[in-house]
Structure 1
Amino acid sequence: MHFQIKADLTYRFAERCEVLLLLEAARAADQAVHREQLTISPPIGISRLDDSVTGERRVVFTAEREVRIAYEAEVEVLARDAALAGMPAAPIRDLPGEALRYLRASRYCPSDRFERFVEREFGGLAGGDKVAAILDWISGHMDYRAGVSDAASTALDTFVDRAGVCRDYAHLAIALCRAADIPARAVSAYAWKLTPPDLHAVVEVYLGGRWRLVDPTAKAPVDGLVRVATGLDAADIAFMTIFGRADLVSQAFAVRKS
């Protein structure tokens, strides 16, 4: 499927500072970027720090006063196998080296705190069946609600509050999967059919010898996700990291099937 994606952001910077932008569609095996344009107004010199391994498109620039960032792209999402049922989880010794880091606890996903819960609740299951059960548990025990969490909330906070937004759902799913010895990582994506439109936090799990996308909120179809970035948790996939202070003036995202 082909999608037209747009992002339009305006920020006011209190002082001159550097900005790391992770807003562009990634070059990945499951999607192809056919056309794109990134415009920063007023014109600013940028440095590209793209990652040849992950396909992430990274831009760094120095901002001051009011800056508008506009991004448009046409992206083709290729066929994805999102099946979980019966998918085997690889023994640790057989995992690719790049997957090992996604077994470890991280700042927002303290998976070591969930090991007893996961064993008690899902211990009789394995692989994709265990991941599906984890997602079903989250669906049955969580309320999608803004304002419950903040930028400091972890999966443990979400587990206690039983409410949050996509970032919180993703962190909890990642923590529970890692506690089950299944590699899991955070993914930021433009999401078709997401209401209201926004960059969406979802999850990839390593099963059956490959990474598989899942949406713990079930608010967007997997074949309508245009990936931007991947990482241990939200700290790695933020679409904008400001090394200073700034105020949001306006922000809008759009995804349309073409």
Structure 2
Amino acid sequence: MSPSLNRKAVMKLRVRSELVYRFDPPTDAIFQIHAAHWPGQRILEETLVLTPAVPFREDDAADFGARPLRARLSGEVTVLYEALVDNGQLAGLPPGAIQQDWTDLPADVLTYLWPSRYCPSDQFGRFVEREFGTLSGGARVLAIVAWIAENVDYRFGVSDSETTAARTFIDRAGVCRDFTHLGITLCRAAGIPARAVSAYADQLTPPDFHAVFEVWLSDGWWLIDPTGLAPIPGLVRIASGRDAADIAFLSTQGTCEMIRQAITVEAV
């Protein structure tokens, strides 16, 4: 699959995540916190430290460039990741980006046309046609993002880990993952491939892992932040997938307790 060519000058970002969790009883855990191996995103330096030191497995260059870290953890564990990343300078989606016929899409893009766990796009076809039916391509996606900005409030405590885009459409409030799920859902309902992306984000307040999405137009992926909280050039890709289920920064087989967590991103 070719990467999107929406790039300008070079931009370097220093990212850092410190995750302190208690795993009791011991459980298997998967972290997705590494900067991805992705065309145009170069990792200049990085370090990873687990305290206490435990055996782990890092799956380099997995799907979409993600690099999951797997380990069996017990008690209080600190995972510290730091990296200096050159991600070029990503540009925003132009209104003239072209929506391709399904027959012309790459085979591995097709899965991002269909409904997924948190993105029931098959329920929104009539709404999308009525609201955005006169537009296509980049103009249609930008109109969808503008509609979300006008009709959905960014608010903590309204949603939880089970909230779908259909619920957000009703509640008209949520956080970044909810904005992203709704954007993905409406784009897929419009026949545009869309997928979730987890990222480090410069200028995000408060600092945290950020959920955005990307659409396939004009033979490439274009990043979109439906919350408008982080500039596109300041995003460092971690993982991508159908929805939040594929891009979670921490997944465990058993229970765990967050002790503290700190994310920082600094433009260099």
Q: Same fold (TM over 0.5)?
A: yes
Of 14, 19, 24, the residue aligned with 1:14 is: 24
Amino acid at match of 1:129: A
C-alpha root-mean-square deviation of aligned residues, in Å?
Answer: 0.9
TM-score by length of 2: 0.95
2-structure distance, mates of 1:244, 1:113:
33
| Aligned pairs (5 A) from 1:20-39 | 20-39=30-49
CA apart distance, 1:135: 0.4
Equivalent in the alignment of 1:230: 240
2-structure distance, mates of 1:112, 1:151:
21
Q: Which runs of 5+ in 1 are unaligned?
A: none
CA apart distance, 1:150: 0.3
**Aligned pairs, how many?**
258
* Residue 174 (str. 1) matches residue 184 (str. 2): yes
2-structure distance, mates of 1:98, 1:51:
16
Equivalent in the alignment of 1:140: 150
Moved over 4 A (4+): none
2-structure distance, mates of 1:52, 1:174:
22
2-structure distance, mates of 1:41, 1:15:
17
Equivalent in the alignment of 2:249: 239
CA apart distance, 1:154: 0.2
| Aligned pairs (5 A) from 1:1-258 | 1-258=11-268
Amino acid at match of 2:267: K
2-structure distance, mates of 1:81, 1:98:
24
CA apart distance, 1:156: 0.3
Cα pair 2:152 2:173 within 8 Å, conserved: yes
CA apart distance, 1:5: 0.5
2-structure distance, mates of 1:60, 1:160:
37
Cα pair 1:30 1:80 within 8 Å, conserved: no
Cα pair 2:207 2:263 within 8 Å, conserved: yes
Amino acid at match of 2:159: S
Amino acid at match of 2:153: D
CA apart distance, 1:51: 3.3
Q: Percent identity?
A: 48
Cα pair 1:13 1:247 within 8 Å, conserved: yes
2-structure distance, mates of 1:206, 1:126:
13
2-structure distance, mates of 1:92, 1:36:
39
1-structure distance, mates of 2:214, 2:27:
33
CA apart distance, 1:52: 4.5
